[in-house]
Structure 1
Amino acid sequence: MPGVRGPSDYSKEPPRHPSLYINSKEPFNAEPPRSALFRSYVTPVDLFYKRNHGPIPMVDDIESYSVLISGLVEKPKKLSVKDIRMLPKYEVTATLQCAGNRRTAMSKARKVRGVGWDVSAIGNAVWGGAKLADVLELVGIPKLSSSSKSGGKHVEFISVDKCKEENGGPYKASIPLIQATSPEADVLLAYEMNGEPLNRDHGYPLRVVVPGVIGARSVKWLDSINLIAEACQGFFMQKDYKMFPPSVNWDNINWSTRRPQMDFPVQSVICSLEDANAVKPGKVTVSGYAVSGGGRGIERVDVSFDGGKTWVEASRFQKFGIPYVADDESSDKWAWVLFEATADVQRSTEIVAKAVDVAANVQPENVEDIWNLRGILNTSWHRVQVRVGHSNM
């Protein structure tokens, strides 16, 4: 790729915030403390989780950087960042979440394989860039197309990033063409994050943002875009990020029996408390995030201060001073909501959160029921233990 290259080693990694919890150094995978998340509706860039599969690509010459759009299209085209910036700019507030968020808790039920994420492999940002639907019109594909004239039905994104899972080849993923060409799906070729140019960790100079879908499909460091007849055949589409039942193990797995995971399920997490907490008796307030995939708003967040016996409904908000109404025009449909609930706590207990989206999907109670060998999509009720002390507190 002219102007951008994928280094062969980790000697030129960018600086990172010192508060991040590092889950692996090479490749660098890290998440912020959970307490950092509920304090801000828009997650600061430095505290946005870092998910990588290889060394961070380097930009040598931004002027020579371009993205090739080819494959099953009538008019293949190379686009520079300048070309993309000339298209109408949109800002989309969207939450990205790694499919492995909360994997550590799932591994306590039975061992799983993957990066050991706690609850912070998630973040909410304001992404700025061109809509993919506008970009694809430049190569002759009208909006709301499910197939190109040449039979292309999927849009494949190929990264500059090289990874061992692809035998040293590039990271890649795809989405259906009908999603890519729908202006309402808000799929972006993003060059900004929270009003600033993307940094290296988050895909500079150009990345894909696919709202409402697991983070693995929002390809960073974009090299090229291909229109293809079938879904991408890359490792992370065909041999990873698929949801299997608890009965499947590494001896009997058949990857071809499952579709690549796209939307993420409804999720909520308490962020104001750690897994074990000491508090004084009296009023206890808990705060956290709730989000659902596919643009589905959060209808309700239930919090229990007695281990799930009784429940109170939490307040929900996105922007301070503006009431949150699920699926209302004033709400960000691709973004998380923050929640808060308060109760009187006089004895040691378990505090639990569960969210319900507008389609009445609700988080499953037990992690064992959704256990899978890759440890993805742990959306079970989130629980924290609280120990109440009456002295020396």
Structure 2
Amino acid sequence: MSLKNILLRTINQKNKFINLSASAVKVSNQEQYGHGGQQKKNYGYNRRTMATALFSSVVVGTMASAEKSDKNKNKNEDKTVEAGTIRPDLPTFRAEEVSKHDNEKSFWVTYKNGVYDVTAFLPSHPGGDQILNAGGLSIEPFWNVYGMHKTEEVYALLESYRIGNLHEDDVVDHSDEEMWVKEPSRDRRLVVKTARPFNAETPAKLQVAYFDTPNELFYVRQHMPVPELDQSSHRVKVIVKDGGVTSKEFSLQDLSRFPKGTVRAALMCAGNRRSEMNEQVKPVKGISWQGGAISSAVWEGVYLRDVLVHCGVDTHNTAGKHVIFTGADIDATGQNFSTSIPLDQALNPNSRIVLATSMNGRPLPPDHGYPLRVVVPGAPAVRSVKWLESITVSHEESPSHWHQKDYRSFNASKTWETADFASAPPIYSLPVTSAICDPVNGDTVTVKNGIVEIRGYAYSGGGAKILRVDISPDCGNTWIQAEEMQSDDAPPQQHYGWTLWTARIPVKRGQKELKLWAKATDSNFNTQPETFHDIWNIRGVLSNAYHKIKVQIKH
């Protein structure tokens, strides 16, 4: 086949690919997801739609690369080229080594047993910088989804970039990974806890660098793959089960006709700081969050209460009723993510629950619910269901696993064998907590004028405001109150943002080590417990004992 025909066939395949995955690509709409010009200039933060990257990484659309591969085409004109087979004449690489080559100076990908260096192709990539998503990774999961890649020409083109073999111990079966290939790009500064589903913390020192967490640094908590949705066609259905069943459906345009609703709210996973409970007492089950599973943002949309009233929900007869939120994310069994809150919480004007389409003045990013999520301030973030597609008013709580068998707390003596989830109430609010973010445990800090400056956050659920934060430099013998407190000016019982604080701790001459304890007190005069022993529970939730770190001192 001639070079011209190869390129024409490849272009036709690309067009088919685009038609099949237009909703995944959305190149022209990348601004709506909050990845602005700064990320376009910065490779490290510009790893976008992986499906596009995969296709681009095999469709080498430049004359230079095609000319290089044309020699191989002539040799293989009459036989099928099988990519990724072992080549004894080439060196072997470990996956760890391959993963390091994910930048514009050295860019590798893998396919089955093959390792490929496509660095020279990057400047002329027809899909722009979308190829950057595949750096240091296997492209096989994408080929399992988009079978049009599996052609003699594309195999040969890929093999023209072959540099080695992937070590047998690092070759994995990617056949079940199709559901993850369209995951959104993520900022590489996030501290990844699990890759699938994606869960990542905001780095501690960056938590206190911004009062409203930048969208790309907002911590991510997923239970399943991120669904692909389109704001122009998305609908949310409101179902009212009260004597009979009535329902109304709203587009985002329909929702925009309600009065605008805005709330500044920190969202915190109920398992934030679980790692400390796990390390200081005994093992618990759940993601080993440190202190980074909390971030704060300004959310805009419309108030849930207004929508429910419009749909005829009785605001006076709320006893025993619940509001079930269902998202578009689906697990392997086909079950949509779902949870619920009491109806009286949903209808309380002080709750300021928002059906949000905007985060910090920009459309919701895919990881945070695009195009619509509910934000339930002051509650565990699990109640703020993302990718919202239905709201149901019912006499029953959500029947989902995540509501019935999770996000409930037990006393310190309960085990998995003795815990009765049905008898334990769901967690609808959060206790007061705080954490030292800068410095972090193990840092070496420099003394200036006899003082060490420390910064952190404090937060309490249910609309309570932080009154003060106290720091002890001597294991609780004395306490120093933080003198700088940055917080929202929301009225009492509606304070849903966090508080960022700064404290200055005196250090003795010659002192080499400093142990720091932090505790916060909220407007209900609740304060943190000293240790995790009495609040330990099998799920490691509500982990809010004093935050304790140790740092080295440099004079």
Please confirm whether the aligned pair reaches a TM-score higher than 0.5, indicating the same fold.
yes
Conservation of the 8 A alpha-carbon contact between 2:464 and 2:494: no
Partner of 1:68: 237
Conservation of the 8 A alpha-carbon contact between 2:351 and 2:494: no
| Within-5 A mapping of 1:112-261 | 112-143=284-315, 146=318, 153-164=321-332, 167-261=333-427
Q: 1:310 aligns with which of 472, 478, 492?
A: 478
What are the superposed Cα offsets for residues 224-256 of structure 1, whole Å, 9 maximum, x if unpaired?
A: 111110222221221111111110112222112
Q: Does residue 1:355 correspond to 2:520, yes or no?
A: yes
Does the C-alpha gap of structure 1 residues 65 and 315 become closer, same or farther in structure 2, counting only changes over 3 Å? same
Q: Does residue 1:385 correspond to 2:554, yes or no?
A: no
What are the superposed Cα offsets for residues 299-356 of structure 1, whole Å, 9 maximum, x if unpaired?
A: 111111122210011124335xxxx78x756x97111111111021232121111001
Q: Where in structure 1 are there 5+ consecutive unaligned residues?
A: none
Q: 2:507 aligns with which of 333, 345, 357?
A: 345
Amino acid at match of 1:365: E
Runs of 4 or more above 3 Å deviation: 142-145
Conservation of the 8 A alpha-carbon contact between 2:240 and 2:246: no
SS in 2 for 1:248: coil
Q: 1:368 aligns with which of 525, 529, 533?
A: 533
Q: 1:289 aligns with which of 453, 457, 477?
A: 457
Length-normalised TM-score, structure 1: 0.90
Amino acid at match of 2:453: T
Amino acid at match of 2:521: V
Q: 2:249 aligns with which of 50, 74, 78?
A: 78
Considering only CA atoms, is the larger Rg found in Structure 1 or Structure 2?
Answer: 2
* Alpha-carbon distance in structure 2 between the residues aligned to 1:162 and 1:354: 39
What's the % identity of the aligned pairs?
40
Alpha-carbon deviation of 1:180?
A: 1.1
Alpha-carbon deviation of 1:258?
A: 0.6
Partner of 1:280: 446
The higher relative CO (CA closer than 8 Å, separation ≥ 6) is in 1
Q: Does residue 1:335 correspond to 2:497, yes or no?
A: yes
Conservation of the 8 A alpha-carbon contact between 1:75 and 1:140: no
* Alpha-carbon distance in structure 1 between the residues aligned to 2:471 and 2:491: 24
Partner of 2:182: 12
What are the superposed Cα offsets for residues 251-300 of structure 1, whole Å, 9 maximum, x if unpaired?
A: 22211221011101001111111111212343101111111110011111
Q: Does residue 1:107 correspond to 2:282, yes or no?
A: no
Amino acid at match of 1:80: S
* Alpha-carbon distance in structure 2 between the residues aligned to 1:145 and 1:178: 9
* Alpha-carbon distance in structure 2 between the residues aligned to 1:168 and 1:315: 51
* Alpha-carbon distance in structure 2 between the residues aligned to 1:369 and 1:316: 31
Alpha-carbon deviation of 1:63?
A: 2.7
What are the superposed Cα offsets for residues 18-61 of structure 1, whole Å, 9 maximum, x if unpaired?
A: 111100000000012100111111111011000001110102x4
Partner of 2:200: 30
Alpha-carbon deviation of 1:183?
A: 2.0
SS in 2 for 1:72: strand
* Alpha-carbon distance in structure 2 between the residues aligned to 1:137 and 1:255: 32
Does the C-alpha gap of structure 1 residues 8 and 132 become closer, same or farther in structure 2, counting only changes over 3 Å? farther
Conservation of the 8 A alpha-carbon contact between 1:131 and 1:189: yes
Alpha-carbon deviation of 1:388?
A: 2.0
* Alpha-carbon distance in structure 1 between the residues aligned to 2:256 and 2:178: 30
Conservation of the 8 A alpha-carbon contact between 2:220 and 2:368: yes
- More helix per residue: 1 or 2? 2
Higher mean alpha-carbon deviation, 216-225 vs 274-283, is at: 274-283
Partner of 2:261: 90
What are the superposed Cα offsets for residues 209-228 of structure 1, whole Å, 9 maximum, x if unpaired?
A: 00000001000001111111
Cα RMSD, aligned residues only? 2.1
Alpha-carbon deviation of 1:90?
A: 1.6
Does the C-alpha gap of structure 1 residues 63 and 120 become closer, same or farther in structure 2, counting only changes over 3 Å? same
Amino acid at match of 2:299: W
SS in 2 for 1:9: helix
Alpha-carbon deviation of 1:176?
A: 1.0
Partner of 1:41: 211
* Alpha-carbon distance in structure 2 between the residues aligned to 1:18 and 1:368: 35
- More strand per residue: 1 or 2? 1
* Alpha-carbon distance in structure 2 between the residues aligned to 1:142 and 1:363: 38
Conservation of the 8 A alpha-carbon contact between 1:143 and 1:182: no
Alpha-carbon deviation of 1:4?
A: 9.2
